[in-house]
């Protein structure tokens, strides 16, 4: 950075505010480096709609429940609309720069991200196209269709928000304009905005509780009897659990760097409640694999599903991976796409292939334990074990 400041004769370095636990230390080091090169560091709030310390309960404490948090946000003045600069001076010459390949960002043994360049368009232009496409063609179906993984009813803006290719203020104002132009879609748009609110809530929690990525928000869960089963963990990571909706989600993740939100909840519930593996195992895997991996949202979401987080899903809410598949992927389009080995199974057995008669399996080219794994756990047994494990927390004062 010092070299860039010197070569461009820059007088200031501009950046958005960060909220990670290490943000203050990072800012101090960047500020010192900038000043050493003769420039000031100018920091602005451009990552969120509302600054975490500006939204508080009536007692002045941080919110721990989403609904009153988002209600308080909506009582505040509308976020200001981002404005382009009156002028933007260009440097006199382009600086020498490294190529992205020089940074060795992609894995090599093997490169399991092969083909991702065809799926994503990083940068501001790609972000604007994604937002425009969503608001023009899909937002009207978002409210009722956002849980259907086979349909393109979600925005897929999370990677662009994560890396600052687009700001939440741009998204918020574009959505407000869409409500004016398409009043019949107002309900779906409000639902979409509330999901943007969940992102705000996650950052609110991370700012006030910086230990969230590493420690259970509910201290009782520090005593939870998590298991240690490397074989189950590897099966989950590879999409080889024997439960089609779970495996489809994990295959989508490994092949695209993304996973549909409904399916994220299902696979997270399966890891923490069917396999009784620590939510931090899933948090770490998602952090490695997701193109939208975000410290706040990742930690908050995993703790929410696992039952240890703020405003968490109740411990007894254990997603049934069979009925989740039957309900949200009824036609099987999503499962068949990511599990081609099951593509010829009838809908009746697609989400529970172990119940299919041998003749049906043979006709579909499925050999359980060979072309597709048998379930690594029994749903009913796993549910009972999870409830017994969670019941131990009731004994803790």
Tell me which of 183, 208, 233 is where a domain ends: 208
Is 371 domain-assigned? Answer: yes
Based on the fold, state whether residues 379 and 288 are members of the same structural domain.
yes
Name the pTM for this structure: 0.94
Domain that holds residue 306: 220-395
Spell out the per-residue pLDDT of the chain, length 397, in tens: 899 999 888 999 999 999 999 999 999 999 999 999 999 999 999 999 999 999 999 999 999 999 999 999 999 999 998 888 888 877 777 788 888 888 887 777 778 888 888 899 999 999 999 999 999 999 999 999 999 999 999 999 999 999 999 999 999 999 999 999 999 999 999 999 999 999 999 999 999 999 999 999 999 999 999 999 999 999 999 999 999 999 999 999 999 999 999 999 999 999 999 999 999 999 999 999 999 999 999 999 999 999 999 988 777 889 999 999 999 999 999 999 999 999 999 999 999 999 999 999 999 999 999 999 999 999 999 999 999 999 999 887 5
Based on the fold, state whether residues 183 and 241 are members of the same structural domain.
no
Q: From the candidates 112, 120, 226, 354, give the one annotated as an active-site residue.
A: 226
What kind and span of H or E run contains 284?
A: helix 279-289
Based on the fold, state whether residues 286 and 339 are members of the same structural domain.
yes
User: How many domains does the chain contain in total?
Assistant: 3
HSE value, Cβ hemisphere, 13 Å, CA-based, for 230: 0
Is 98 domain-assigned? Answer: no
Is 27 domain-assigned? Answer: yes
pLDDT tens-digit map of 69-107? 999 999 999 999 888 888 887 777 778 888 888 888 777
Q: From the candidates 172, 302, 304, 338, give the one annotated as an active-site residue.
A: 302
Q: From the candidates 112, 116, 120, 198, give the one annotated as an active-site residue.
A: 198
Is 177 domain-assigned? Answer: yes
d(CA 30, CA 257) in angstroms, rounded, equals 31
Based on the fold, state whether residues 366 and 234 are members of the same structural domain.
yes
Based on the fold, state whether residues 203 and 158 are members of the same structural domain.
yes
Q: From the candidates 151, 190, 261, 385, give the one annotated as an active-site residue.
A: 261
Based on the fold, state whether residues 146 and 255 are members of the same structural domain.
no
Based on the fold, state whether residues 285 and 389 are members of the same structural domain.
yes
Based on the fold, state whether residues 264 and 303 are members of the same structural domain.
yes
Is 10 domain-assigned? Answer: yes
pLDDT tens-digit map of 337-376? 999 999 999 999 999 999 999 999 999 999 999 999 999 9
Based on the fold, state whether residues 252 and 308 are members of the same structural domain.
yes
Q: From the candidates 70, 236, 279, 338, give the one annotated as an active-site residue.
A: 279
Based on the fold, state whether residues 278 and 313 are members of the same structural domain.
yes
Catalytic residue flag (residue 354): no
What is the domain-level CATH number for residue 145? Answer: 1.25.40.80
Of the candidates 25, 29, 31, 28, the one whose C-alpha atom is nearest the C-alpha of residue 12 is 31
Catalytic residue flag (residue 236): no
Catalytic residue flag (residue 279): yes
Is 184 domain-assigned? Answer: yes
The answer to whether 153 and 191 have CB atoms below 8 angstroms apart is no
What is the domain-level CATH number for residue 359? Answer: 1.10.579.10
Is 243 domain-assigned? Answer: yes
Catalytic residue flag (residue 70): no
Catalytic residue flag (residue 22): no
Q: Output the furthest CA–CA distance in the chain (Å, rounded).
A: 77
Is 60 domain-assigned? Answer: yes
């Amino acid at each position: 950075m010092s070299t860039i400041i010197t070569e461009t004769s820059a007088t200031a370095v501009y950046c958005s505010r960060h909220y990670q636990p290490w943000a203050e230390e990072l800012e101090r080091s960047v500020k010192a480096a900038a000043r050493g090169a003769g420039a000031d560091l100018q920091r602005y709030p451009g990552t969120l709609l509302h600054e975490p310390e500006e939204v508080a309960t009536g007692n002045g404490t941080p919110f721990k429940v989403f609904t009153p948090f988002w209600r308080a946000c909506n009582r505040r003045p509308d976020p200001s609309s981002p404005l382009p600069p009156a002028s933007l001076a260009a440097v006199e010459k382009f600086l020498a720069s490294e190529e992205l390949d020089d940074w060795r960002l992609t894995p090599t043994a093997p490169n399991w991200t092969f083909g991702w360049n065809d799926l994503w368009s990083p940068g501001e232009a790609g972000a604007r196209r994604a937002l425009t496409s969503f608001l023009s063609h899909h937002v009207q179906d978002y409210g009722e269709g956002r849980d259907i993984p086979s349909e393109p009813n979600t925005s897929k803006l999370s990677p662009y928000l994560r890396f600052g290719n687009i700001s939440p203020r741009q998204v918020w104002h574009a959505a407000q304009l869409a409500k004016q132009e398409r009043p019949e879609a107002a309900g779906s748009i409000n639902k979409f905005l509330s999901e943007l609110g969940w992102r705000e809530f996650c950052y609110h929690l991370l700012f006030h509780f910086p230990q969230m990525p590493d420690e259970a928000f509910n201290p009782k869960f520090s005593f939870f009897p998590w298991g240690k089963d490397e074989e189950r963990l590897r099966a989950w990571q590879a999409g080889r659990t024997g439960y089609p909706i779970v495996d489809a989600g994990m295959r989508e993740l490994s092949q695209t760097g993304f996973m549909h939100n409904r399916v994220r909840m299902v696979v997270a519930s399966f890891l923490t409640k069917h396999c009784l593996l620590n939510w931090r195992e899933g948090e770490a895997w998602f952090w490695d694999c997701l193109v939208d991996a975000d410290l706040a949202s990742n930690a908050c979401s995993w703790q929410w599903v696992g039952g240890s987080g703020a405003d968490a899903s109740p411990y007894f809410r254990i997603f049934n991976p069979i009925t989740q598949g039957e309900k949200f992927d009824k036609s099987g389009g999503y499962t068949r796409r990511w599990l081609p080995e099951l593509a010829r199974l009838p809908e009746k057995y697609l989400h529970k292939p172990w119940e299919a008669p041998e003749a049906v399996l043979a006709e579909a080219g499925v050999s359980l334990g060979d072309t597709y794994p048998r379930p690594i756990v029994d749903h009913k047994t796993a549910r009972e074990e999870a409830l017994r494990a969670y019941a131990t927390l009731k004994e803790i004062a």
